[in-house]
Amino acid sequence: MERGHIHVPAQCGRIAAILSRIGDKWTVLVVESLGNGPLRFNELRRRIGGISQRMLTLTLRAAERDGFVTRTVFPTIPPRVDYELTPLGRSLREPLHRLGDWALENVETIEESRRRFDGEAEKQAAAPRPQRAVGA
């Protein structure tokens, strides 16, 4: 996709799917949690907190499918499974950190803008509407 061209129809769906994945809350937390090295499933779940077993499983599968995470099974009893970032997953950490920093720097401005917008919307909803004449 060429820079300067905001909409290239042939690429939009492909890019949107990737942005949706990396913008997902759980994917961001998995990538960040694995940033210091491999973890087992339950270690990862404890580190993230608030994520269900099913959601973590789905997130890890998607991240593995997209090439962000590798899954290594060790032939022990019970089997040991480690999850680790790939080079692609590690390369994602820097832009995620920059985006997080930007959000922290601008959260108050954005929240104030939302309050103003919502206040104007409430005023417009409460304003009396002109009556239409019957038969007009």
**The pLDDT value given to residue 68:** 97
Q: 50-100, pLDDT tens digit by residue?
A: 999 999 999 999 999 999 999 999 999 988 999 999 999 999 999 999 999
pTM: 0.77
**The pLDDT value given to residue 1:** 46
Query: Please, what is the average pLDDT of the chain?
Result: 89
- Looking at 3.40.50.2300, 3.40.50.720, 1.10.10.10, 1.20.1440.230, the CATH number of the domain 9-125 comes to 1.10.10.10
Residue 5 banded pLDDT, cuts 50, 70, 90:
low
Amino acid at 42: N
Burial class (CB in 10 A: 0-12, 13-18, 19+), 69: buried
Classified as helix, coil or strand, 109 is: helix
Residue 3 banded pLDDT, cuts 50, 70, 90:
low
Question: How many Cα atoms are found within 13 Å in the side-chain-facing hemisphere of 65?
Answer: 11
By the 8 A CB rule, do 63 and 31 touch? yes
